[in-house]
Structure 1
Amino acid sequence: MTDTLEQNYEKAGYHAQQSWGTRPALVLVDFAQAYFDPEAPLFGGEGCAAARDHAITLAEAARAVGVPVIFTEVKYQPGGGDGGAFYAKVPALSCFDAGRDTQRLVDGLRVEPGDLMITKQYPSAFFGTSLAATLQFHQIDTLIIGGLTTSGCVRATCIDSISSGFVTLIAHQACGDRATGPHEANLFDMSAKYADLVGTDDAVAYMKSCAAT
């Protein structure tokens, strides 16, 4: 193959822009203390810290214009009895055992009245949860997704979002990972096939525009 990657993807029509809807919701995936505790095996460093700051901005902007704010958390019975093969595969998931400080929502983000917290045991916010039914009931057509980690639960949620019929936007500045390689590679791939990437300022402007219609 003599084409560059960009030429190859252009021929396939990847990275095509979607038509965004008029009823968005903001989904913030797994901003758990585990990614911010230097002693925890899931510590994510500066990439996760920067994502949290952008998530705070997005959550405040969404609430200000009446866009639903949905958080997700991973929570297991102590010992992972409800964690199945995922818990067995990744020992560090014990950070999300109920009652552990590493399981809680990180400081700076909080579930406010009117927000929703979705509890899950697997990577996608949709798998085994009521998220899709809740969004459909509220006639949501577009999801703005940020969270941790880009290569893990954000990606899984992104794929299930478009598979469930939602226009999917990835708020890339509000996504973080423990290394730039998997972070950038997964943003690229999600942009190519499943979602549009959107910066924080543009996501805020989009939410405001929807509130004005």
Structure 2
Amino acid sequence: MDYTVMMPAAGSGTRMGAGQNKLFLKLAGKTILGHTLTVFEEDPWCAGIILAVKDSERPVIEAIIRDSAITKVKALPAGGAERQDSVAACLEAHQEGGIVLVHDAARPFIARPVIHKLAESAAEHGAAVAGVKAKDTMKYVTDGQVEETADRERLWIIQTPQAFRYELLLDASRKARQEQFLGTDEATLAERAGLPVHVVGSTYDNIKMTTPEDLAYGGYLLKKRLEETME
């Protein structure tokens, strides 16, 4: 089943404190962005990649694409001030319909079986997100005081990719822009548009490179995967 993946890559990544786009930082000699792009480059189901970028960073990203031997990038639209703006730019640049995935460019450890289950679920239901069950006890807190303990069995930590039938996400995106609504992820826009969103079980390794600690853990994950392929 073919899909097109869209990646907002125009963020600042201030929590990483690297003084540059965190996607340009390296893990085992390869940029975070290069690792993430390679996941989809090597997936036979992936028909294309659309990256939203800052114009000032376009030459660097084009060099990463070239150095990582990525051939599936179809467009590099200009990203916006917010993630939602960047995803909207990717959607407007896509002309082929079908199934689209939105994925954080800073999540290089997504597993291919999860990607495929998301694409299949989106084709069947219209919208699907990757997620894992919350491990910790969660509480509602106001002004430093616990109000209630949440039912952990119903809580999921939502990741990306998030998968949709193209026309459904495009309509939800345009509706949000018209109404000046800013959501935290694409599933929020779909939910707001009245679409049922299904959850596909992911892995806890599918972390987002956000802090220096994540980089250290990412190095461990790369080492572990290399050892597994050699066994």
- TM bucket normalised to smaller: 0.3 to 0.5
**Structure with bigger RCO (C-alpha 8 Å, 6+ apart):** 1
* TM-score, normalization by structure 2: 0.37
* TM-score, normalization by structure 1: 0.39
From the two aligned structures, give the one with the greater strand fraction. 2
